[in-house]
Amino acid sequence: SAVISQKPSRDICQRGTSLTIQCQVDSQVTMMFWYRQQPGQSLTLIATANQGSEATYESGFVIDKFPISRPNLTFSTLTVSNMSPEDSSIYLCSVEDTGTRYNEQFFGPGTRLTVL
Amino acid sequence: SQQGEEDPQALSIQEGENATMNCSYKTSINNLQWYRQNSGRGLVHLILIRSNEREKHSGRLRVTLDTSKKSSSLLITASRAADTASYFCATTRRNDYKLSFGAGTTVTVRA
């Protein structure tokens, strides 16, 4: 299965600042996704990161707040902009691994963000 | 938005006992995947069951799927302290790669 890494693993930020989270995969994948997990909650899809084009955002998420880059098939970044304490969450990237039999989705280790 | 509900929300068992948790969903699915999350870290993929399958096994894990009831169950046999985690089900619909997650079940295995 694809091996996914994320940087940073955690960060504490001041309100009004921005943080960029990196996601690196050890193989080329078509589909990459970004999820948010608010404290004590389940996961919510933020957007699909599309290589060579703008990301596709889910309802309630906008590009100005969560700009996403996908320069190639192994790498993506998510920026959390103009942060407020409500943005404190775990942010996870995932990939659909077409190398597996049934295209399972695998997740990175997550980035735990605390906004003060 | 979450498609699924999971129950129970929390489960506490003794080491060696079995743990069963259930997941229900609302719309027709292509497949259903179960994940484990330890202490707010990343999700570990446990098992995928397709809509035309009824049961799958992987080690101490047994997953069932009843599409007529739109529900799935995850059974962990002979639980260990290391099984203490949150467990999530997630579904995909036909021709849609997006995962829709359930609320999760928190399992505590007491030594």
In-domain check, residue A15:
no
- The mean pLDDT of A89-115, rounded to a whole number, is 89
- Taking a C-beta distance cutoff of 8 angstroms, is the pair A10, A90 a contact? no
Are the Cβ atoms of B45 and A94 closer than 8 angstroms? no
In-domain check, residue A3:
no
Please provide the distance, in angstroms rounded to a whole number, between the alpha carbons at the two ends of chain B: 36
Six token digits for residue A38: 């608010």
Which of A35, A43, A45, A102 should we substitute to test contact with B (largest number of B Cβ atoms within 10 Å)?
A43
- The mean pLDDT of B35-54, rounded to a whole number, is 92
The residue segments making up the domain with residue A57 are 26-102
Which of A105, A111, A113 should we substitute to test contact with B (largest number of B Cβ atoms within 10 Å)?
A105
- Res A1: pLDDT: 78
User: In 3D, which of B82, B99, B96 has the Cα closest to residue B19?
Assistant: B82
Q: How does residue B96 score in pLDDT terms, banded at 50, 70 and 90?
A: confident
How many residues would you count in chain B? Answer: 111
Q: Which residue has the tokens 């098939």?
A: A73
Kindly report the nearest CA distance between residue A66 and chain B, in angstroms: 18
Say how many C-beta atoms besides its own lie within 10 A of residue B55's C-beta: 11
Q: How many domains does chain A have?
A: 1
Pick the range with the lowest mean pLDDT from A44-48, B18-22, B27-31, B53-57: B27-31
**Quick one: what percent of chain A has pLDDT higher than 90?**
84
**pLDDT over threshold 90, residue A99:** no
State the DSSP string of B90-109.
Answer: EEE-TT----EE---EEEEE
Are the Cβ atoms of A42 and B40 closer than 8 angstroms? no
- Res A52: pLDDT: 86
- Res A46: pLDDT: 97
- The mean pLDDT of B34-42, rounded to a whole number, is 90
- Res B39: pLDDT: 84
In-domain check, residue A53:
yes
Q: Provide the mean pLDDT of chain B.
A: 92
Q: How does residue B94 score in pLDDT terms, banded at 50, 70 and 90?
A: confident
Residue B39's alpha-carbon distances to A31, A98, B5, B82, in angstroms, are 27, 28, 21, 11
Residues from B in contact with A at Cβ < 8 Å: 1-2, 31, 33, 35, 40-45, 48, 50, 88, 90, 97-99, 101-104
A56-77 exposure pattern, b = at least 16 Cβ within 10 A, e = fewer:
ebbeebeeebbbbbbeebbebb
Are the Cβ atoms of B97 and A42 closer than 8 angstroms? no
For domain B5-110, give the CATH number: 2.60.40.10
| B50, B88, B97 ranked by CB distance to A31: nearest | B97
**pLDDT tens profile B70-90:** 999 999 999 999 999 999 999
- Res B1: pLDDT: 43
Six token digits for residue A71: 């320069």
In-domain check, residue A17:
no
In-domain check, residue A56:
yes
CA pair distance A77, A67, nearest whole angstrom: 8
Number of Cβ pairs closer than 8 Å across A and B? 58
- Res B3: pLDDT: 60
Phi/psi for B66 (5° steps) reads -120, 100
Phi/psi for A85 (5° steps) reads -55, -25
- The CATH number of residue A54's host domain is 2.60.40.10
How many residues would you count in chain A? Answer: 116
Residue A85: strand, helix, or coil:
helix
**Which is it for strands B10-14 and B105-110: parallel, antiparallel or unpaired?**
parallel
Q: Provide the mean pLDDT of chain A.
A: 94
